[in-house]
Amino acid sequence: MKVHHFQALVIGALCLGAAVLAAASYNQHQQLADLQTAARNAPADPGPSLRRDMGELRTKLATLAPQVATLEDSQHQHATAQATLGQQLDELTASVRVLQALPPGPSSADLTTLAQRMGAAEAALEKLSTAPKVPIAASPPTSPLSDQSKAKAPQPPFTLQGIETRGSVMFVAALPAGAHALSTVHLLQPGDSLNGWQLLAIREGQAVFHVPGHGDRILPIP
């Protein structure tokens, strides 16, 4: 009776040990399966991807560096151009102020009035020169010396060079006798005198002078 009881205890202990071993083996298999699943789901080594991203970042930085330098150069040029433009604007403003401070010159209306007066004077002189001459009464006989002095007209003390026009005003260019330099040329307009000869009018190809004691003389203009 005692032997059977002991065998039963041994068999029970063996069954209990087998159950414990089976449970431990199951737990180990389950843990191994979990580890394998975790290993499969674990992310790959981030080192290559990180190195690749860093390489691309360096490439972008190397590409952006010349663009940044070009942008800085453009900004510098823009600042220089603005400074130059501001200086030119200041100079232009100063020039305008100087021009505004100058006394006003003759207007176009003044020049037109002057031209009209000159035209009227020329017309009056031409009318006088073309008017019929009044017969001169017979004068008492004079000495041959006085007749010779009156008949001999003086030669012009200058040589006419041509006509110059300044706007609407005409001038006669006259070179004094014996002079050869262009700096000695005189520009005469009606009313001016040169060596005693007074210019009265300027016509087409002619100049009318008044010679004291000898009347008017008409000289051709080359």
Write down the pLDDT at residue 108.
73
> Is residue 52's pLDDT more than 70?
yes
Q: What is the pLDDT of residues 113-160, one digit of tens each?
A: 777 777 777 776 676 666 555 444 444 444 444 444 445 668 899 999
pLDDT for 217: 92
Confidence bin at 3 (pLDDT 50/70/90): low
| Model confidence at 59: pLDDT above 50 | yes
Most confident of 17-26, 132-141, 207-216: 207-216
pLDDT for residue 210: 94
Nearest to 111 by CA among 199, 164, 170: 170
187, 196 Cβ separation under 8 angstroms: no
Please give the Cα distance from 75 to 132 (Å, whole number): 86
pTM for the full predicted model: 0.34
The mean pLDDT value for 201-217 works out to: 91
Residue 188 has pLDDT above 90, yes or no: yes
For residue 11, name the pLDDT band (cuts at 50, 70, 90). confident
Cα 219 to chain center, whole Å?
50
Contact 190, 200 (CB under 8 A): yes
Beta carbons within 8 Å of 177's beta carbon, 6+ residues apart: 156, 157, 158, 159, 195
- The whole-number average pLDDT for the span 2-30 is 75
Characterize 147-185 residue by residue with b for buried, 16 or more Cβ atoms within 10 angstroms of its Cβ, and e for exposed.
eeeeeeeeebebebbebeeeeeebbbbbbeeeeeeeeeb
CB neighbour class for 100 (10 Å; exposed up to 12, middle 13-18, buried from 19): exposed
Per-residue pLDDT of 78-127, as tens digits, reads: 788 888 877 887 887 777 777 666 666 566 777 777 777 777 777 766 76
Structural tokens at position 160: 């006419």
What number of helices (H) and strands (E) belong to the chain? 4, 7
For 165, phi and psi rounded to 5 degrees?
Answer: -120, 130
| Predicted pLDDT of residue 197 | 93
What would the mean pLDDT of 10-19 be, rounded to a whole number?
78
